[in-house]
Chains A and B, each alone.
Chain A
Amino acid sequence: EVQLVESGGGLVKPGGSLRLSCTASGFTFVNAWMNWVRQAPGKGLEWVGRIKSNSDGGTTDYAVPVKGRFTISRDDSRNTLYLQTSSLRAEDTAVYYCTTDVGLPTLGQWGQGTLVTVSS
């Protein structure tokens, strides 16, 4: 069974940084392309970014609102995905989900999410 468990969320001041983690199990993480999707309180879903598997180049792509401020990385030895956030703004307040598409054409496996609150 695929499991994705996010951690690292919390309260941070505007301009601050936070590193989110997502620990994966139940599938071959090293081959998976991994994504982050966020959801502001009471709002819809917004794709944040993606990292390809290292065998596919390990390249990253980001949504325009976070480009240059957020960095996605992975540690295949630990089956862990990361989202390093910086220069955080109030509008980055959201639940951040780790998600992937194992055996499916789109995002079919999701973690429970971790809440990031940006407030002074």
Chain B
Amino acid sequence: DIVMTQSPDSLAVSLGERATINCKSSQSVLYRSNNKNYLAWYQQKPGQPPKLLIYWASTRESGVPDRFSGSGSGTDFTLTISSLQAEDVAVYYCQQYHSTPVYTFGQGTKLEIK
């Protein structure tokens, strides 16, 4: 199975500042046939299910604010929140869907306000 590793495990950022979360996969999640990275990012707030933010590594799901962006290719990916808002406090997960049916998630990164 593909192993997903996120860094850091936790992060404290001031309101209005940039937050950056990294995700590394144990093997490439890029399909060369369509040049798409099978990588998604989720946000999970306490007591709620995960919410899909980004898929294909950089495509925002409908309704997701444009301060959220995803980048990267192959095995290394980044989720960036350009200007942190109070409502962005959550745990963030990366996920690969390259090797379905087995979906694997990173261990999560807890984002807090400094």
Binding site for B on A (CB under 8 A): 35, 37, 44-47, 49-50, 61, 63, 97, 99, 104-108, 110-113
Contacts and interface: CB of A to CB of B under 8 A. Distances in A.
A106 B107 contact: no
Contact of A44 (B48, B100, B107): B107
A51 B42 CA distance: 22
Contact of A108 (B38, B61, B104, B108): B61
Interface of B: 38, 40, 42, 48-52, 55-56, 61, 93, 95, 97, 100-108
Contacts of B48: 112
Given A44-B93, A45-B93, A106 B103 contact: yes
B104 A47 contact: yes
B49 A113 contact: yes
Given A45-B105, A105-B38, A110 B97 contact: no
